[in-house]
Amino acid sequence: MTAECANDPNFMEDWTALRAEIFGHPLIAEHLKETAAWKVTVDKHNAYLKRESLPAGIGIGDVKLSVRNLVDFLYLDVKGESPTSEECLEATFYVQHGQFRLDEMKAEMLGGGVLQVVVPKAVKKVSLPYKCLAWGLPPLVNTCGNPFLRKGDANTLDMKEEDDGFRLRLDMPGVGRDAVKVWVENEMLFVKGIDITETARFYNGGVLLNPSDDKPLELDLDQIEVEIKNGVLKVFIPKKLNVLLAFAAALESLKGFVWPIHTGTVTMEDGSRMSADVANDPEFMKAWPALKAEMFSHPIVAQHLKEKAAWEVTQDQDNAYLKRQILPAGIAIGDVKLSARDLVDYVYLDVKAENPTSAEALLEATFYLKVGEFRLDAMKAEMLDGGVLQVVVPKAVKEVSLPYKCFALGLHPSC
């Protein structure tokens, strides 16, 4: 109970009889039975809600988590229905605004059929800089639950500037996607929304994207992304990237992109490979030395070149061979996985492996090749003498066209 009640002698004098009456009610009895089935613990980083046994027929895929607004508190609902019986799981916990990251909570199944819901705690932060907030929109103190604070913890509002854009995270419990409006004006991000439940609460504020005013921002306002999950609004406002940053971002997303192994590329004097069309463009080749120096000094590109140097790519009449002399510690041939992803006229060939005993030892490399030049269904990874990993990618056999009668009339062009 609250400290106020516990310290009230008049209340405590009546508590024994009141408790017996309350706990004797059938609805309360059912509640206590469900409460006894759960164990709630909290550590420095998370709250853990554990239930030792689930009702018959309910699996982890049947468990749904959701959030409801309740003035100064939030209801966290855990529900599940058995697809094969009338058994159900229903439990509700309540937490204070700003104390947990409800958009990051997850349900998982532990050993022995134990259901665990993990709810990460909010990281305590100081208020955002005064100049970051729009004048006149939020109150000076949190009198109505408005997260656009000038004083106090900024747990419910978080703005980050990253290389590719700005990310806003804002607690707006009770607000659906259709009830929120997000827009950018004069380098200010504005958010307006209303909780349409019985606790009707307005959210109305703005955050300055460029408080330093050192140079104007180049934002791609046509690509703003807005998402609401479990009462948390997430907004991404992308910057307009230059060619170098876009190239670096592409390499980072490929997790160890190596180099093309398909035909139509040529090897330059410096060992780099590029398409024949680019290599034969005098204007590009004139600018290439300076562009190359700028690109290769970027940390992401430097990491790419380091991974590239670890691989040797050769071809003969029948196959392409991708060799890596030294594998990260603890990785064996059984840990290596090969997969392919489509990219219009090209295919990404991914080589990945994880050390089962160490999360730091990873192997991630990507090659790209032209559609139809290789038999990716027949590729294989093997370990050569000396611990050398080799991926063999058979070339496609050139074949003549299929007989005309093999095609459906009118479905393909004649040339």
143 and 28 together in one domain: no
User: For residue 180, what is the domain's CATH number?
Assistant: 2.60.40.790
230 and 269 together in one domain: no
Residues 370 and 329 sit within 8 Å (Cβ to Cβ):
no
Q: What is the pLDDT of residue 410?
A: 41
256 and 360 together in one domain: yes
Q: What is the pLDDT of residue 398?
A: 65
In a domain, 399, yes or no: no
Q: What is the pLDDT of residue 409?
A: 44
Question: What does the alpha-carbon distance between residue 257 and residue 351 come to, in Å, rounded to a whole number?
Answer: 10
23 and 116 together in one domain: no
Q: What is the pLDDT of residue 317?
A: 87
263 and 375 together in one domain: yes
Q: Of 220, 238, 256, which closes a domain?
A: 238
In a domain, 61, yes or no: yes
Q: What is the pLDDT of residue 311?
A: 84
In a domain, 332, yes or no: yes
Question: What does the alpha-carbon distance between residue 280 and residue 277 come to, in Å, rounded to a whole number?
Answer: 5
Residues 207 and 131 sit within 8 Å (Cβ to Cβ):
no
Coil vs helix vs strand at 309: helix
In a domain, 57, yes or no: yes
289 and 385 together in one domain: yes
Work out how many domains the chain is built from and give that number. 4
68 and 208 together in one domain: no
pTM above 0.75, yes or no: no
339 and 389 together in one domain: yes
As given in the structure block, the two tokens for residue 387 are 């611990």
Q: Of 221, 238, 255, which closes a domain?
A: 238
In a domain, 414, yes or no: no
274 and 352 together in one domain: yes
Question: What does the alpha-carbon distance between residue 136 and residue 128 come to, in Å, rounded to a whole number?
Answer: 16
Q: What is the pLDDT of residue 247?
A: 54
247 and 390 together in one domain: yes
In a domain, 88, yes or no: yes
In a domain, 410, yes or no: no
Q: What is the pLDDT of residue 382?
A: 93
28 and 57 together in one domain: no
Q: Of 120, 142, 159, which closes a domain?
A: 120
As given in the structure block, the two tokens for residue 176 are 């659906």
Coil vs helix vs strand at 213: coil
Distance (Å) of CA 363 to CA 300, 332, 353, 359: 16, 11, 5, 11
Residue with tokens 């990237």: 241
Q: CA geometry: angle at 305 spanning 302 and 308, to 5°?
A: 155
**Which of 287, 284, 282, 193 lies closest to 232 in space, CA to CA?**
193
Q: Which amino acid does the sequence have at 325?
A: Q
In a domain, 408, yes or no: no
Give residue 58's domain range. 37-120
**Which of 215, 218, 155, 151 lies closest to 184 in space, CA to CA?**
218
43 and 74 together in one domain: yes
Give pLDDT tens digits along the chain (415 positions): 777 778 888 888 888 887 777 767 776 666 667 777 888 888 888 999 998 878 888 888 888 888 877 656 778 888 888 888 777 888 888 777 777 888 888 999 888 888 999 998 877 654 444 444 443 333 333 344 455 544 444 456 777 888 778 888 887 777 778 888 888 877 778 888 777 665 566 777 777 776 555 566 778 888 889 998 877 889 998 887 555 555 555 555 545 455 555 555 666 666 666 667 667 777 777 777 777 777 667 776 677 677 777 888 888 889 889 999 888 888 888 889 998 887 666 778 888 888 777 766 678 888 877 777 888 889 999 999 888 999 999 988 765 555 545 444 444 343 3
